[in-house]
């Protein structure tokens, strides 16, 4: 199960966050509470919860715990958002001024920030491969259900890697703030692959999406 964090102060300001550490906004805290209620009411038992160390995800995981979602989240250093280098902290107008070429890159290049001192697509693939190998070693035999609290850009890359072989560069799947996704992993003719069971935005939980599902992975 994947949960993107609630709206952050950076989201509310339409800024490219990356590893920039913004806290949740008031709306983000309300979204996190709705996601916590949704997960609790789903009846799906969680065997482990892991969270990104960045405030917007860590605070979201804390709200889940306050509302009775168990077990308590453990920080995983491979779950942070994709590092965006010199783009971090900038809004769209500032990006257009400082890095006008970024706005005109083809879609297949939008998840790669190597040109700006951030992570390349290869860096991200290596990180998510490392994460999944570790989770598989810990939880696969017992067929456990694991919740990852993290970020839209990294979750997007993670879902592509779990569902597709080979991994595509382009896939249109929107991760708004506090979207909850469930993937079921199965052996398929020698490959360990996933199927997307549900992908629920916060609006379907009775909440408001706010401005957190904008153009950029942030």
Distance CA 215, CA 213 (A): 7
Q: Which of 7, 30, 59, 81 is catalytic?
A: 81
Domains and CATH numbers, the chain: 2-205 (3.40.50.1240)
Cβ contact 71:42 at 8 Å: no
Parallel, antiparallel, or unpaired for β 191-200 and 2-4? Answer: unpaired
- pTM (2 decimals)? 0.94
Q: Where are the alpha helices (DSSP H) in 69-150?
A: 92-98, 121-139
Mean pLDDT of 67-91: 97
Cβ contact 69:35 at 8 Å: no
Q: pLDDT tens digits for 51-71? A: 999 999 999 999 999 999 999
Distance CA 116, CA 112 (A): 9
- Tell me the CA distances in angstroms from 4 to 35, 151, 162, 189, one per residue in order: 10, 5, 17, 31
In the residue annotation, 81 being an active-site residue is answered as: yes
Q: Which of 5, 30, 59, 119 is catalytic?
A: 5
Beta-bridged to residue 198, according to DSSP, are: 182
Q: pLDDT tens digits for 112-142? A: 999 999 999 999 999 999 999 999 899 877 7
In the residue annotation, 151 being an active-site residue is answered as: no
Distance CA 206, CA 218 (A): 23
Distance CA 164, CA 168 (A): 7
């Amino acid at each position: 199960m994947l949960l993107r964090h609630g709206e952050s102060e950076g989201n509310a300001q339409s800024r490219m966050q990356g590893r920039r550490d913004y806290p949740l906004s008031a709306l983000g805290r309300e979204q996190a509470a709705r996601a916590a209620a949704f997960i609790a009411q789903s009846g799906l038992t969680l065997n482990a919860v892991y969270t990104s160390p960045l405030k917007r995800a860590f605070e979201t995981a804390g709200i889940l715990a306050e509302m009775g979602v168990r077990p308590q989240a453990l920080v995983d250093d491979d779950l942070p958002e994709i590092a965006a280098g010199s783009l971090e902290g900038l809004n769209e107008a500032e990006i257009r001024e400082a890095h006008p070429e970024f706005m005109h890159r083809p879609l297949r290049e939008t998840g790669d920030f190597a040109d700006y001192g951030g992570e390349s697509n290869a860096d991200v693939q290596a990180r998510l491969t490392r994460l999944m190998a570790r989770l598989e070693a810990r939880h696969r035999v017992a067929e456990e259900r694991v919740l990852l609290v993290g970020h839209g850009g990294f979750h997007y890359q993670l879902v592509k890697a779990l569902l597709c072989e080979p991994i595509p560069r382009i896939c249109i799947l929107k991760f708004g703030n506090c979207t909850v996704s469930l993937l079921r992993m199965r052996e398929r003719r020698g490959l360990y692959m996933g199927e997307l069971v549900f992908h629920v935005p916060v609006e379907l939980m009775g909440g408001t999406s706010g401005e957190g599902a904008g153009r950029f992975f942030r």
